[in-house]
Amino acid sequence: MKKSLVYILSSIMLIVTIDWALGSLFDSLYAKILLGQTGGKINYYLRQKDFSVVVMGNSRALYQINPDSLGSNCFNLSHAGMSQIFHTGLVHVLEQEKKMPRLILLHLEPEEFTFADHGTDIQNLKYYYGKDSLVTAYLRNVSPYERFKFLFHLYRYNGRAASILKNYWYSRRPLPPTNGFESLVATDRDSINTFYSAEKIEPIKTTALNEVQVEYLEEFIKTCSRSNTKLVCFTSPLFTEPRGLNQVTAKLTAILARHKVPYISADEIDVTKYPHRQWLWKDAHHLTNYGAAIESKLLADWFMLNHKIIE
């Protein structure tokens, strides 16, 4: 029994020590990374001079909106694969760091607002656990055991150790300035990919909005109002719209209207009206670099026409 106790206590001591040492090492590495989705892009944004316009959203915002088309002091802070909870957490981090821009252009995925949310995307902001109150609260909601996992300092870097090391390596040398936009270069296979992915688009299962998802959006709006940041929401077009999406979009538009947030629907920036349609799509959800250029221009045109709304 005594041997077991020695084994258990010594293991705990060793784990605590290494956790502290490695955790501190990752803290310092993380702070230095300036690229990649594991936090580098956020670090890069926080270190730059204040931007006046910031685009936020998922891959459809990241690969499709070139902020240069909106002006010279704009940045695309979108993260691929992330849902509303992540963007709400991130905007709260920006507020806390006093890095809120004058205007945020938030990409919304209406269908996503019908899904039950498990909050797992907030785990991509684990670094801010204990540093940002909203992110901490969201992380604690992921599961009843989440707070125990954070007893390990290293857990903040869970699942991203390899990419932090990789991104640290690339961040050692000075990086060329970026506006955060990444484009998807068109290839010969795109039309096949578009065809297959369009076939997989199914009708919306329910047109009822999920309350939790709506709360995340409302929290985002609240954060913007607290900082006097103007918010405009938009949705990029799809190659094929699923049945029922119009109803969901209408409900979402009503919520945004209630909060006096302008909304640019997919119809207003419909790239499919343009010629050379076959080169515009990477797949049924994403535009190629050609499509992205058109969408960015259409968005800029919308702002030219509606500058009074946002002033």
Partner 1 sequence: MLFNSFQFLLFFPVVTLLHFALPHRYRWGLLLFASCVFYSAFIPYYLIILLVSILIDYYAAILIEPSEGKKRKTYLVVSIISNLALLSIFKYFNFFTENFNELLLWLGVGVKPIPYLHIILPIGLSFHTFQAMSYTIEVYRRNQVAERNFGIYSLYVMFFPQLVAGPIERPQNMLHQFYEEKIFSSSRLMAGLQQMGWGLFKKAVVADQLSIYVNSIYNHWELNTGATLLFATYCFAFQIYCDFSGYSDIAQGSAHILGFRLMDNFNLPYFSKTVTEFWRRWHISLSSWLKDYLYIPLGGNRFGKFKTYRNLLYTMLLGGLWHGASWNFIVWGFLNGAFLSAERILNIKETTSSSWPVRAAKIFMTFNLIALTWIFFRSVTLHQSIGIVKNIFTANGFWNLRIQDSGIFAGMSVAVGLLLAIEFLIFRKQRVPDYFSSRSMVQSIAWTSFFVLMLVLLGVSEGDQFIYFQF
**Residue 11 within binding range of partner 1, rule CB under 8 A:** yes
216-275 residues in contact with partner 1 (CB under 8 A) are none
182 lines the binding site for partner 1 (CB under 8 A): no
- Spatial separation of the C-alpha atoms in residues 84 and 273, rounded to whole Å: 29
Stretch that binds partner 1, among 4-12, 60-68, 86-94, 107-115 (CB under 8 A): 4-12
Residues whose CB falls within 8 Å of the CB of residue 169, separated by 6 or more in sequence, listed in order: none
Nearest of 39, 80, 23, 62 to residue 167 by alpha carbon = 39
- Rule CB under 8 A: say whether 1 interacts with partner 1: yes
Q: Which helix (H) or strand (E) holds 75?
A: strand 74-76
* Distance of closest approach, residue 10 Cβ to partner 1, in angstroms: 5
Q: Which is nearer to partner 1, 188 or 311 (CB)?
A: 188
Under rule CB under 8 A, residue 123 binds partner 1: yes
Question: Which residue stretch of 10-18, 176-184, 210-218, 299-307 sits at the interface with partner 1 (rule: CB under 8 A)?
Answer: 10-18
Instruction: Rule CB under 8 A: say whether 7 interacts with partner 1.
Output: yes
Q: Which residues are bridge partners to 74 per DSSP?
A: 53
Q: Any contact of residue 161 with partner 1 (CB under 8 A)? A: yes
By the rule CB under 8 A, 148 interacts with partner 1? yes
Q: Which C-beta is closer to partner 1: that of 59 or that of 114?
A: 59
Q: H or E segment at 212? A: helix 211-226
Phi (first) and psi of residue 247, to 5 degrees: -65, -40
Alpha-carbon distances of 297 from 60, 112, 180, 236, 272, rounded to whole Å: 15, 26, 17, 13, 14
How far apart are CB 296 and partner 1 at their closest, in Å?
Answer: 25
Binds partner 1 by CB under 8 A, chosen from 24, 159, 175, 205:
159
- Residue recorded with tokens 């902020």: 67
Could you tell me how many residues of this chain bind partner 1 (CB under 8 A)?
A: 44
Residue 84, Cβ density class (10 Å: 0-12 exposed, 13-18 middle, ≥19 buried):
buried
Phi then psi for residue 264, to 5 deg, are -105, 110
Q: 200 vs 307, which CB is nearer to partner 1? A: 200
Q: How far is the CB of 250 from partner 1 (least distance, A)?
A: 30
DSSP conformational letter for 239: S
Q: Using CB under 8 A as the criterion, which residues of the chain lie in contact with partner 1 when the complex forms?
A: 1, 3-4, 6-7, 10-11, 14-15, 18-19, 22, 36-38, 81, 118, 120, 123, 142-145, 148-149, 152, 154-155, 157-163, 165-166, 189, 192-193, 196-197, 200, 283
